[in-house]
Each structure stands twice: as structure tokens, then as C-alpha cells.
A and B are shown apart, each in its own frame.
Chain A
Amino acid sequence: MKATITANNTGTDLRKHFSLKTKVKNELWQNRYLYLLAIPVIAYYVLFCYLPMFGLVIAFKQYELGKGIMESQWVGLKYFQEFFGGIYFGRLMRNTLLISFYSILFGFPAPIIFALLMNELRQRRFKKVVQTVTYLPHFISLVVICGMIVDFLASDGVLTRMLTVFGGQKTNYVGDARYFRAIYVISDIWQGIGWGSIIYLAALAGIDQQLYEAAVIDGAGRWKQTLHITLPGILPTIMIMLIMRVGQILSVGYEKIILLYGAGTYEVADVISSYVYRMGIGQSRYSFSAAVGLFQSVVNVILLVAANKTSRRLSGTSLF
């Protein structure tokens, strides 16, 4: 409207107006097939990614299914306060942070070390076999993996029996709060160490071989080569992976938690996202659980940005 009014006033504006309009028209017409293709893509992102983001406003409202989002009453930070002041807040934060901390401490270096060791294998075929075998667990469904964990660590399970040889107790380990986190982290490493190493193997393959030749001439052994060429060579990849990992500290793999935990292990196993699931889906407390989920996402983004900044300053590598 504004454009038409000004267009009526002066000739130059008229030309501008037409040129913009024709530009848009031209673009639309010339790329009409691209716009056609863009419809389903944009529809997907809007419906399944951005609509849920918009849906986060229910965290600040008292959402009722019958009323819909718009009519539901604003309640401000009520649900956040309820969460932070609730009896489970401490337990959830402790469990989430501890499981994440152990996962990073043990699970993060494992594939790096594994890739470095694999890189030292000189027998091509053997290396291929090792790779094929160790990538396998990554493709097995979590339900099957957890089913195996529960079965093997039951009081008469095969792993339990093996552990008794080394003086372990004959007990149901998965149901025992003392062992839950260890089981979670160790089985994660077992399942992911091979697959996780691929990205580091790719980085290792990208290191200039001349550097090694030069090092050999200088008299550097394998250990020195690893220390001074290999590690610096894959450092950018390590940093990128670490940044991404830090950005997920609050989202412990809830699928596995939900498959493995039980009333006896809530005390050590219940994490923020499994709590969101129980509150939201189990008890239909949509606004409250959306608030908890939003808290989790926001903290994750903050951690990601912070890790990214720190890494850029310390190592010059950054994700964005």
C-alpha cells in the first residue's frame, strides 16, 4: 500500500516501485521450480521444528488442551520456580551432571585413544577387520543393547557370573543404585568406541605424511611422533567434538535411561530429560515439563557458545 501511494506521487518512485515488483516477479517466475521444491522443505521445518519452538510459550502459560495456546493464561515464571524450588531439582541436576561428567571423562577420550592405537596397526587387512567388528554395536538398536545389559547383569546373568569369579556379588546389577551410572557409561563406551573413532581416523588420514618422514630422519620414535605430529594434527577435530559434547551436557541420552532405570534406581538415574518425559507424557503436565525442557535447551546452548569461545581463544578452533 505504501509503495502504491508514493508511486502515485513522483515518476522516479514509480519506476523504483515497478522495478522492485518486476524483480520479485522475475525471480519467482525464473525460479518457479525451485520455489515449488521449496514448499515441502519449508513446510517440514516450519511444522516440525519451528512450530514446536513456538510451542515453548506454554512454559510461561497454564496450558490446557481444551483452551489451546492462545487462550491459556499467562503465568510467567511459575513453572520454572516450581522446578527450581522442587524437591527433585537437586537430584536431577546431580544425576544429569554426574552421568555427563563421567561420560566425558571416560567416554570422550576412549575413541580417540582407540583411533590412535588403530592408526599404529601396520597390517591393512587386520585393521579393516578390527574396524568392521568394532563398528557393529553402533548399528544394534538401543532396545536390544539394553535388553542384553539387563539379561547379562541379572543375578544369574553371564556377566554377573564372570564377575563373581573376580569376587563380585551375585546380585542384579542394573537394579542396584550403586552400579547404575557405571553400567550406563561403560556400555556407552562399549557400543560407541568403534564408531566414534571413525572421525578421528579420518583426521589422522589427513595428516601430511611428510611430517612423519621428516620426524623419522630427525630420529623421533613412534611415541615422539604421536606426541608432536599426530596429536597436534587431530587437535582441531578433538576440539570440535568436545565443543559439541559440552553443548549436550544437560541432555544425557534419555532413551537409554528410560529403558534401563526403575523405581529402585531413580535416585541415581533420573535425569532432566527422563523427568521431562515422565511429567509431560506420563502425567500430562505439559507446561511444567515444557519449562523444564526449555531450561535444559537454554543451558545447553549457553554451554555450547561458551565452549566454542573458550576453544577459539585457547586452540584457535571453533565450531562457528
Chain B
Amino acid sequence: MVIKRSIGEKVFSVCNILFMILMMVVTLYPFWYVVTCSFSDSAQLIGARGMMMLPKGFSLASYQAVLQNPNILTGYRTTLIVVVIGTTLNVLMTAICAFLLTRKKFALRGVMTYMALFTMYFGGGMIPTYLVVYKWLNLGDSLWALILPGAISTYNMIIMRTNFAEIPESLEESAKIDGANDILILFRIILPLSLPIIAVMVLFYGVAHWNAWFNALLYIRTRAKYPLQLVLREILLMNDTNQMTAGAAASDRFFLGESIRYATIIVATVPILLVYPFIQKYFVTGIMIGAVKG
């Protein structure tokens, strides 16, 4: 079918494309600006911080300072631990919960569904949760305080449950005849059939752990245990670059402090930027499932 398009529609199409290009520039330029600044020579940067397309001069001094900073390194380590252990636990618990809520013969299914759904609408809030985690369960200053609370995101669990519910029951029944118990059914049949949604969950939870900072602000007291984002906050928002410039001559310190902030942003964000193009399609799938069927 040939669709004739009026002049108005053609004009609209062109404007729309221009608008989209503008949107992309507005989205990407801030990041590009940070990249250029991070590679710039600090002394030249102070003088010329307008719109930049390329670095002013070229220097890796700020990266050197960032990568030698003990806080950044311990922050990286803490964050990696929390991402790996936390995400594993998240996915495991979410899968188990979703699995239980699809077992039709399970007597607690109804009760547990309500128990989970209710938490989406009402909760104890910041202070009671803080008291429970910090004082009663005694998880204060422990990395478990960053891992255990929020082990199951009910929203993610529902996405997973929707996915599990679509697996034909006949597959499980034949396994049951062969003598498989429920745990085997979950790990040998349901999970291997759900790899795409597991990928989505790994990514949802993993990025959330990587970016989390507020829970550490609440629960972590020892500086050596600060996750990356909390270290970042000190550098970016509390202007604490003194430690990093300690090695530099006093006159350079002020200048270096400027570009160090940009280099810090890059160092902390590069892992996300590197995996982003690969994970992007999975994220979208996850949202779509939640949107269309949830």
C-alpha cells in the first residue's frame, strides 16, 4: 500500500528527526564534557571551561591521582563484593519466591502472595527499617546491611513470576514422574528455561547495587568499608579532594582538584558504560514483560 504523505507530515517528520538528534546531543554532551575535562591539563582547564569538544591539552595526571587514591580502591572493592554477593542472593531469593507463588498445589501460595504484594504499597519507612537493621539485627557497619535488606524486590519478583507461569506444566509433570522433587524442578527445569529473565534480573539488581549509596550512608560507619558511591559523594559533592592531591606540589593542588572530579566520575561510571550497550536490550525486555503482563 502506498501511503501518500502531505507536506505537513513531511515537515513534521523532518522536525521530529531533528528533535531526536537534539535529544541525543543533550543526553550525551554532559558525559562527553566530563570525558574531555578528565583528560584535560588541569591548569588550562581552569581558564577555559566553556563548551568543549576536545580536551584542553592532554594529561593523565588526574587519572593517576584517582587510581592511587586508597578510598577509591577500597570503594571499588566493597562495591564489587556487594554487587557479586548481593546480586547472587537477590536472583536466588527472587527466583525461589516467584517459583513458590506459581505452585498451584502449595497451600501458602495465597497468603505469601498477599504478604509480598502488601509491601509494595506500605512499609515501615526509613527509621523503623534502620532500627531493625542496625540495632535489632545488629547489622550496623556490616556489608550484610547493604545486601540483606531488599534481597527481594517485589516488583522484580512479579516480573519473574509472570515469566515462570508461562512455562508449560507438562514439562514439570514428566520430571515429577521421573522422581524429581520441587527443588530439582526449580533448578533443573524452571531456571534453565528462564535464562533471559535471569539475565534481566542480574542486570536490574547488579546496577542497583552498583549505584546504591544511601543504604551505606545509613549503615556503614567505617570509612574503609565505604562503597564506591559513598566515596564519590565525598569527592564530588563534599569537595574532598585533598587526600588525592596530597602527593602533588601545593601550587598544583588546586588545579588538580578540578580535573580529579571528572576523572573520578569516569572511573566510577566506566564499568556501567562498558556493559551498557550489551545489556540495554535485556533491560527493555524486562520492563516490557512487567508492563504488558504485569
Contacts and interface: CB of A to CB of B under 8 A. Distances in A.
A31 B112 CA distance: 15
Interface string B173-209: 0000000011100100000000000000000000100
A122 B77 CA distance: 46
A293 interface: yes
B81 to A, nearest CB: 17
Q: Which of B33, B218, B265 has the most chain A CB within a 10 Å cutoff? A: B265
B287 to A, nearest CB: 5
Contacts of A255: 213-214
A290 B106 contact: no
Given A130-B24, A143-B236, 16 more contacts: A27-B107, A38-B108, A41-B112, A49-B123, A58-B131, A114-B23, A130-B20, A143-B230, A147-B236, A148-B34, A152-B33, A198-B287, A198-B291, A202-B292, A222-B9, A301-B122
B246 interface: no
A65 B182 contact: no
Contact of B126 (A141, A162, A193, A277): A277
Contacts of A137: 27
Contacts of B110: none
B125 A41 contact: no
Interface of A: 27, 30-31, 33-38, 40-42, 44-45, 47-56, 58, 65, 114, 117-118, 120-123, 126, 129-137, 139-144, 146-148, 150-152, 156-158, 161-162, 190, 193-194, 198-199, 202-203, 206, 213, 216, 221-222, 237, 247, 255, 258-259, 273, 276-277, 280-281, 286, 289-290, 293-294, 296-297, 301, 304
B268 interface: yes
Interface string B125-162: 11111111101110000000000111110000000000
Top 6 A-B residue pairs of the complex, sorted by shortest distance between their CB atoms: A52-B124, A147-B236, A55-B128, A293-B125, A141-B211, A33-B182
B6 interface: yes
Given A117-B20, A162-B51, A144 B236 contact: yes
B261 A151 contact: yes
Given A121-B20, A280-B130, A290-B128, A147 B292 contact: no
B183 A44 contact: no
Contacts of A156: 49
A118 B292 CA distance: 19
B232 A147 contact: yes
A261 B129 CA distance: 24
B249 interface: no
Given A45-B119, A147-B265, A151-B236, A161 B183 contact: no
Interface of B: 1, 3, 6, 8-9, 12-13, 16-17, 19-20, 23-24, 26-28, 30-31, 33-34, 49-52, 93, 96-97, 99-100, 103, 105-108, 112, 115-116, 119, 121-133, 135-137, 148-152, 181-183, 186, 207, 210-211, 213-214, 218, 229-230, 232-233, 235-237, 261-262, 265, 268-269, 272, 276-277, 280, 283-284, 287-288, 291-292
Contacts of A44: 93, 148, 151-152
B214 A52 contact: no
A195 B190 CA distance: 29
Contact of B237 (A53, A129, A150, A158): A150
B219 to A, nearest CB: 10
